[in-house]
């Protein structure tokens, strides 16, 4: 099991169609179906009920897909954290000004700050 497999099952669950999910994931439909079948064998669970016209997520699949979404979200947070560590000057910049001069100084300061970043 890897992140790619999790992305595949989440895509199929959200789109309800193997072909559309394959396009979204930039793989062929047989490749996506094969990977999902391997994952189902590895987990010893059926994630999707397949018919000619539709794909339905099984109750077990619903649980696993919820975990997969959480894992994919955490993986994105890891990437963001690593990028922030690589560039310590990235992220949010908060400025504090007193209300009486803020409206006058902000238009002057922001372009200078933006240019220096």
Q: What is the pLDDT along the chain (117 residues), one digit of tens a residue?
A: 999 999 999 999 999 999 999 999 999 999 999 999 999 999 999 999 998 888 999 999 999 999 999 999 999 999 988 888 887 777 777 878 888 888 888 898 888 888 876
- CA–CA dist 106, 37 (Å, integer): 57
Among residues 55, 67, 52, 47, which one has the least CA distance to residue 3? 67
Decide if 50 contacts 39 (C-beta within 8 A): no
21 contacts: CB under 8 Å, gap ≥ 6 = 8, 11, 12, 14, 15, 32
- CA–CA dist 37, 8 (Å, integer): 11
pLDDT recorded at residue 113:
81
pLDDT recorded at residue 47:
97
The CATH number of the domain covering residues in 3-86: 1.10.10.10
Residue 117, SS3? coil
- CA–CA dist 83, 4 (Å, integer): 21
Among residues 29, 58, 38, which one has the least CA distance to residue 46? 58
pLDDT recorded at residue 4:
97
């Amino acid at each position: 099991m890897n992140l790619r497999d999790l992305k595949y099952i989440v895509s199929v669950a959200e789109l309800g169609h193997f072909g559309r999910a394959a396009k979204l994931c930039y793989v062929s439909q047989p490749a996506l179906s094969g990977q999902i079948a391997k994952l189902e064998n590895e987990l010893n669970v059926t994630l999707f009920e397949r018919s000619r016209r539709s794909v339905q997520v099984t109750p077990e699949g619903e649980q696993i897909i919820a975990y997969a979404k959480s894992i994919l979200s955490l993986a994105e947070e890891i990437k963001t954290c690593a990028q922030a560590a690589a560039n310590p000057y990235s992220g949010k910049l908060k400025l504090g000004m007193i209300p009486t001069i803020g409206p006058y100084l902000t238009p002057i300061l922001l372009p200078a700050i933006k240019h220096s970043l």
